[in-house]
Structure 1
Amino acid sequence: MTTTHTTSKPTAARRVAKKKAAKTAPQALAESLFFSRDESWLRFNLRVLEEAQDATNPLLERVKFLAITASNLDEFVEIRVASLLQRIEEGHNEQQAPDEGGLTLVERLDHVATMLHEFVEAQYTCWNEQLLPALDAEKVRVLRWRDLDGDQQAYAVEFYENEVDPLLTPVTIDPSHPFPRVLNKALCLALLLRHKRKGAVAAATLLGVVTVPRSLPRLVALPQVAEGAQDFILLHELIESQVERMFRGYEVIGKSAFRVTRNSNLYMQEEESRSVLESVRAELHNRRKGDAVRLEIETTAPTEIIERLRTNFELDPWQVFRMDGPVNLSRLMNLYGETNKPALKYPVFKGKKYKLGRKSVDLFDELRQKDVLLHHPFDSYETVEGFVEAAAEDPSVVSIKQTLYRTSADSPMFRALTEAAQSTDVTVVIELMARFDEASNIRWARELEDAGVGVFHGIFGLKTHCKLALLVRRDADGKTRRYAHLGTGNYNPVTARFYTDISFLTSRPEITSAVQSVFRYLTAEAEGEHYEPLLVAPLTMAGDVIALIQREAEHAKAGRKAGIVAKMNALLDRKTVEALYAASQAGVQIDLIVRGMCSLRPGLKGLSETIRVRSIVGRYLEHSRIFSFVNGGEDETYCGSADWMARNLYERCEVLFPVTDEEAGKRLREEILGAYLKDNTKARLLQADGNYVRAPKSGAAFSAQDYFTEMACEPVAETPGKVATKKAGKKEVIS
């Protein structure tokens, strides 16, 4: 047993709401129609864990998947679980309407707590019973101190003395030394100490705490003991082996690594006296000190240490997670990076570069003739980088406007924007509240301002999540034209290598003019008369999406061709789900490719019989949003930044854009969506009970991501599947 769940119900919740009202008929109905977002998310993370358990994946990639599940879980705990606890403690349980699953806050927290403990147990079972033995067989070992030979111990001690010890600050908790401020997710060591000197007072046990330095690697590489072998020791294991040197005069009678996760929600309030930038910076400071939500500690920890820590952090027993292995599995990502064994990783892949047409002299010449659609990472991101860099390098470019949600520290785009500002009008709308990128975005905002860039932070209370870049260029024919890039992913060259996303570049006046209107909305909150052909949140998108779904229902009722294929990260908006249910009842065949959370319940008789939901989890993070509507045979396809979630439709500035170019639209529907619908290797199908099962292997095994990779390396004669329609909205995939 790797975790302890000493109470089946969260006691914090019971203190606030001792009575639970019986479910009413409307609650039961809600539970039958919708899945809970939190439980759906946990099932998504379970699908990621399945990739760590899958022996057909390269071994170090499996380690990486396990690390990703831990990182995902951190964010879930510090945002979602923290929010549930806070709302319960504020007394919202009885006043709050049941959630999408028909449960109150207390009931939801009970379910989530149980699922969390079960998931953590599955993580450590995977590490101990599958990955560690497999790594050992490949001569990659994560050793305990007692397993090191003499030479390795000598090397480790020297490393400790030179690199580690100068950074450590041991603290003994007593009246003169209060409990140190343990930062969010900082790995620490707790020690149970007793004075060696005699006496009644000295016989009492004390608690010692040492914070493991974040500036050092969590895995220390050790001298090679055999050809082809790579040995490591965890940094906290090395520190543990030397604790007697830090606490001289004490007997160490117990020790354990631990980590505390805190509430990391940012709570912004609009104040005339404070800019958005200063507000975010102040809130970031609070994040590190938020209320404790979870305590992770080793299974070997003495009960006295656990109880002292639990009391100090004011946690209930269910909030203590005992780990049968390294605390903070996300740090195993270092094992992936430090191990030099290419055979245990995916082969290196570089996306295919876009080739200009024979009649084009540069990208702008190409865009005057046709639209350009790119599917990353299979199509190289260099084309997008070059589009933005043209603002600095092309003297014909006189203006650039761009949104930034997340980017990388060494982004060539960031450099291009600062360089372009020396001679060109540059406007950037940077989202300071991009979760866990706030600090870096603040830094970039200041650096851009220092370089002369006009920096704006969008509309207060709305995150700027749309992905837009607009260049104004005086072309060789003397005309001034606008060129736009619209995308589904962030302007981040690093994530562009392992996120699947769509980029769309165009000079179509109707689109570039609408993009300019969106920028005016973001910088001046000046609403345009219309934004057609774009769908813009929070202004028009929610209603437009439902109208598109309802139009398919009308086509189906009239006996015309109808069908929907929609790919997104999450589907949670209740009004949209209800529209999909109504379309299904009208006979519309609906295929949804939803990577993560999905509240829609497919396959219910009389409600959602024609709806199928699948999730693709593989080497690349599925991040593209593509929405295809058959529209009576006049197909319409949209891409963009928004999922079908309330936060995207009502609380963010988002854009969906139509892909009207015949060739590009056909590629989206037949090549890209067709491949995802054919996938029977990495696809899981959502069942009516909320569980996911592997797609049945009818015919040869097919992985969409592998197909895209192969297609990027060499020409492929045929597309893998074609989204076709039959009379009255029936649709099938033709191999």
Structure 2
Amino acid sequence: MRRTTEMARATKQVKHFAGRDTSWMQFNRRVLEEAQDETNPILERVKFLAITGSNLDEYVEIRLAGLLQRTEDGHTEPGYDDLPPEESLAVLTADMHDFVEAQYRCWNEQILPEMRRNGIRLLQWDELTDSQREIAKAYFQREVDPLLTPITIDPAHPFPRVLNRALCLAMLLRVKRRSSGPTVLGVLTVPRALPRFVRLCEPDAANPTFDYILLQDLVAQNLSGMYRGYEVIAQAAFRVTRNSNLYFEEEEARSLLESIRSELHNRRKGDAVRLEIVTDAHPEIVDRLRTNFELDDSQVYQADGPVNLARLMFFYGDIQRPELKFAPFVPKQLHLSRKVNDIFEDLRQRDILLHHPYDSYEPVVNFIQQGAIDPRVVAMKQTLYRTSSDSMMFQALTDAAASKEATVVVELMARFDEASNIRWARSMEDAGVQVFYGVVGLKTHCKLAMLVRRDEDGVTRRYCHLGTGNYNPITARFYTDLSLLTSDPQITDQVHMVFNYLTAHAEIDDYRPLLVAPLTMAETFLQLIRRETEHAAAGRPAHIIAKMNALLEPSVIEALYTASQAGVQVDLIIRGVCILRPGVKGLSDNIRVRSIVGRFLEHSRIFHFANGGKEETYLGSADWMPRNLFERCEVVFPVKDKAIRARIQEEILAAYLADTAKARLMQEDGNYLRQNDGKKNNGAFSAQEFLMRRAEGKADLDAIPQPGKATAPVVSAETAAKPAKKRAAVPAKAATASVVEA
């Protein structure tokens, strides 16, 4: 029986919780710290700054827009921090303005000078040489001008419908033959197909620099040619962000697909919620735009540089300077323990755990591909939430439909991936794949794949992949996630029942050993926490270690507070939002919260319970958030193999808890303190660096710092003496995905 969020919040005590929006802003500040960190290579710092811009864009489109809606609709129900929507909005807006100022300070005072020192220059028009100006003019005439449509605003030409987050220029114009006449507004939208930075020359031995000009500056230099007969008094680049929430009524599957498709079109035209405009914009331009978009002054943000910082990711991909990026990392390859290329025989003997990106993602792809071509595999089932546009898994599933039963549960409402998911769904249906869209009213967020195979001994078995991350080979290179491959009947039989729930809404009372949301997961987690509380009260070992993306569910937090008061040691590793307050005397003395933001996006979910000495570890797709526990189909699964459980505890969790290089510790007031100043190494220990070296065979477990114990070197003498195995390096690729909703 589904439990509602309202039931879970019944015990809520607001004074015990931090503000959700404040916590999210602090998370994005931790990402900004990586852009400010001088120990990171400069192009990585540019990438982190771009991610902060992308994060903020999505947050404004969804969270800020939702808060504005609640305020305008007259809602007064307080949030987690006991503030009504109007006050929360005021606090968030002030915080966002401070954050935007910090972004551009980082760009102008730290990033740009460091780029110049490394031969990467973003030039103003008056800094260009004659030859560079000719290159820029030729590029404008050839690539840009044919795509532009200049508009003047008058009774015959109303203000154009500016698309969401589109780069635009606004001009204050006056007819030349009327030197004292009124001014009019001109608006020009720059197509998204054009890069926002124009390279002015190819670097070579004689001129090793990478020189660029902002596209908005190049267009501004050519306005007179587009507005002939007008004097351009002033011009300013701007961008509008619109409410991107989707609104529709879910009915049956086909109408759901059509509803989402139509709403995606409307998303581009939602109400404006933010105006970004260059800092030196003429006040009249700012006022006219603000009035047109019906915005308050507080919704206008000044950009002291490119108006879209997310587009800085361009530099990471365009500049081929490996020395200005993190050193390439080669993931560890899986070696089957028995017969070569027979994953099924191997899985009949043991479970396999993969820790991405330290372990290669290829075995997961191969598992699906082998299922598609193996004649003994008679059926395949898989969930898809997000994947890459050229996914090998997508191709394997469509190929499988020609010779066996292939079923896919596609989540159409994976935020900002709706359009691509619709395309996959239709293409797979055309190929003969049975495509389902999950349970009405719930997102399908669980990560499951099941192959049904008639083995050589005549027995039909199920083989499963269960994971914490999306089936996306691209993001698997820079998201940390865990994969379990297994043929354990206790697990695979219940995976089968979960697919029945997703395709036929066929519920059962007990999915053990799996935890399934929204059916059994929330109550089971509460039982596990209460069990630790009982162990502590009885003097038995009691410890909870939980790693996730966010912690927001009040009933879970209250259970953790109770556990802490009983003496349970609680270590939380939470990348993003956390409204629990650690270290509050008499409430959460025994709870510690840390966030790790580094080279890889921390995305894995791990839940470890000491259980009085009979340890249990679970992995899965769910955070401790209301939406995961009550509004999505999620699966958390146990790690039954002792060796795998030991690896998770002694290698993975131990490394994260020992991190002093990238960890930030949450304080009682909700603020975070970085253990390392980010300016020098100071002997700090990095969990991600250790796990990379561990995958390369260059680090032992002794390298993880222990209280009161000297730390061993990351590279042991034994492994250093061994010749390195040569493997194909993973290509360096821009982390174009944001980290908000991952």
Q: TM-score range by the shorter chain?
A: over 0.9
Query: 1:32 offset after TM fit, Å?
Result: 3.3
1:495 aligns with 2:475: yes
Distance 1:147 1:456, change over 3 A: same
Superposed counterparts of 1:257-296, under 5 Å: 257-271=237-251, 275-296=255-276
Would you say the 8 A contact 2:57–2:241 is kept in 1? yes
1:212 matched to which residue of 2? 190
2:24 matched to which residue of 1? 41
Query: 1:358 offset after TM fit, Å?
Result: 3.9
| Pairing partner for 1:69 from 52, 55, 78 | 52
Task: Report % sequence identity.
Answer: 62
Secondary structure of 2:422's partner?
helix
Query: 1:30 offset after TM fit, Å?
Result: 4.5
Q: Which amino acid aligns with 1:616?
A: I
**Cα distance in structure 1, aligned partners of 2:490 and 2:377:** 20
**Cα distance in structure 1, aligned partners of 2:580 and 2:700:** 37
**Cα distance in structure 1, aligned partners of 2:69 and 2:280:** 31
Deviations 1:126-160 (A, max 9, x none): 00000001111111011122211110110111111
**Cα distance in structure 1, aligned partners of 2:231 and 2:65:** 37
**Cα distance in structure 2, aligned partners of 1:532 and 1:720:** 37
1:117 aligns with 2:97: yes
1:81 aligns with 2:64: yes
1:3 matched to which residue of 2? none
Superposed counterparts of 1:233-248, under 5 Å: 233-248=213-228
Secondary structure of 1:67's partner?
helix
Deviations 1:305-339 (A, max 9, x none): 00000000000000000111110100000011111
1:132 matched to which residue of 2? 112
**Cα distance in structure 2, aligned partners of 1:55 and 1:314:** 41
| Pairing partner for 2:201 from 211, 223, 227 | 223
**Cα distance in structure 2, aligned partners of 1:345 and 1:382:** 24
Deviations 1:319-369 (A, max 9, x none): 000111110100000011111211110111231110111456511111000
RMSD in angstroms over aligned alpha carbons? 2.0
Query: 1:581 offset after TM fit, Å?
Result: 0.2
Query: 1:197 offset after TM fit, Å?
Result: 1.3
Would you say the 8 A contact 1:670–1:721 is kept in 2? no
Would you say the 8 A contact 1:669–1:722 is kept in 2? no
Superposed counterparts of 1:693-708, under 5 Å: 693-695=673-675, 700-708=683-691
1:168 aligns with 2:148: yes
Q: Which amino acid aligns with 1:550?
A: R
| Pairing partner for 1:478 from 452, 458, 468 | 458
| Pairing partner for 1:569 from 549, 552, 556 | 549
**Cα distance in structure 2, aligned partners of 1:307 and 1:668:** 57
Distance 1:447 1:224, change over 3 A: closer
1:350 aligns with 2:333: no
2:604 matched to which residue of 1? 624
**Cα distance in structure 2, aligned partners of 1:732 and 1:451:** 59
Query: 1:711 offset after TM fit, Å?
Result: 1.2
Query: 1:199 offset after TM fit, Å?
Result: 7.4
Q: Which amino acid aligns with 2:353?
A: L
Query: 1:267 offset after TM fit, Å?
Result: 1.5
**Cα distance in structure 2, aligned partners of 1:232 and 1:387:** 45
Secondary structure of 1:237's partner?
helix
1:373 aligns with 2:353: yes
**Cα distance in structure 2, aligned partners of 1:205 and 1:268:** 42
Query: 1:268 offset after TM fit, Å?
Result: 2.4
1:150 matched to which residue of 2? 130
**Cα distance in structure 2, aligned partners of 1:692 and 1:583:** 23
Query: 1:719 offset after TM fit, Å?
Result: 5.1
2:5 matched to which residue of 1? none
Query: 1:716 offset after TM fit, Å?
Result: 3.4
Would you say the 8 A contact 1:670–1:722 is kept in 2? no
1:394 aligns with 2:377: no
Would you say the 8 A contact 1:542–1:649 is kept in 2? yes
Moved more, 225-234 or 678-687: 225-234
1:451 aligns with 2:434: no
Q: Which amino acid aligns with 1:503?
A: S
**Cα distance in structure 2, aligned partners of 1:681 and 1:494:** 26
Would you say the 8 A contact 1:671–1:719 is kept in 2? no
Secondary structure of 1:253's partner?
strand
Would you say the 8 A contact 1:571–1:643 is kept in 2? yes
Would you say the 8 A contact 1:562–1:630 is kept in 2? yes
Q: TM-score by structure 2 length?
A: 0.92
Distance 1:700 1:722, change over 3 A: closer
Deviations 1:204-237 (A, max 9, x none): 1011111111111111111157532001111111
**Cα distance in structure 1, aligned partners of 2:444 and 2:451:** 19
Query: 1:718 offset after TM fit, Å?
Result: 2.5
Secondary structure of 1:391's partner?
helix
Moved more, 472-481 or 350-359: 350-359
1:504 aligns with 2:484: yes
**Cα distance in structure 1, aligned partners of 2:228 and 2:239:** 25
Deviations 1:254-282 (A, max 9, x none): 00100000000112213469611001111
Secondary structure of 2:499's partner?
helix
Q: Which amino acid aligns with 1:553?
A: T
Secondary structure of 1:82's partner?
helix
Secondary structure of 2:323's partner?
helix
Superposed counterparts of 1:517-596, under 5 Å: 517-596=497-576
| Pairing partner for 1:159 from 115, 130, 139 | 139
| Pairing partner for 1:309 from 289, 298, 311 | 289
Tell me: higher relative CO, structure 1 or 2? Use CA pairs within 8 A at least 6 residues apart.
Answer: 2
**Cα distance in structure 1, aligned partners of 2:674 and 2:257:** 46
Superposed counterparts of 1:310-325, under 5 Å: 310-325=290-305
Q: Which amino acid aligns with 2:150?
A: P
| Pairing partner for 2:620 from 633, 640, 649 | 640
**Cα distance in structure 1, aligned partners of 2:498 and 2:122:** 52
1:4 matched to which residue of 2? none
1:427 aligns with 2:407: yes
Q: Which amino acid aligns with 1:112?
A: L
**Cα distance in structure 2, aligned partners of 1:464 and 1:723:** 40
Secondary structure of 2:306's partner?
coil
Secondary structure of 1:275's partner?
helix
| Pairing partner for 1:57 from 26, 31, 40 | 40
Query: 1:283 offset after TM fit, Å?
Result: 1.1
**Cα distance in structure 1, aligned partners of 2:22 and 2:440:** 31
**Cα distance in structure 2, aligned partners of 1:192 and 1:108:** 36
Would you say the 8 A contact 2:658–2:706 is kept in 1? no
Secondary structure of 1:346's partner?
coil
Query: 1:715 offset after TM fit, Å?
Result: 4.9
**Cα distance in structure 2, aligned partners of 1:458 and 1:722:** 45
Query: 1:285 offset after TM fit, Å?
Result: 1.0
**Cα distance in structure 1, aligned partners of 2:158 and 2:632:** 43
2:716 matched to which residue of 1? none
Distance 1:310 1:361, change over 3 A: closer
Secondary structure of 2:184's partner?
strand
Distance 1:30 1:307, change over 3 A: farther
Query: 1:595 offset after TM fit, Å?
Result: 0.2
Q: Which amino acid aligns with 1:220?
A: V
Distance 1:734 1:707, change over 3 A: closer
* Structure 1 unmatched ranges of 5 or more: 1-25, 725-730
Q: Which amino acid aligns with 2:392?
A: P
Aligned length: 698
**Cα distance in structure 1, aligned partners of 2:39 and 2:210:** 23
Would you say the 8 A contact 1:427–1:453 is kept in 2? yes
* Structure 2 unmatched ranges of 5 or more: 1-8, 713-742
**Cα distance in structure 1, aligned partners of 2:697 and 2:133:** 50
Would you say the 8 A contact 1:391–1:424 is kept in 2? no
Query: 1:92 offset after TM fit, Å?
Result: 1.0
Would you say the 8 A contact 1:674–1:733 is kept in 2? no
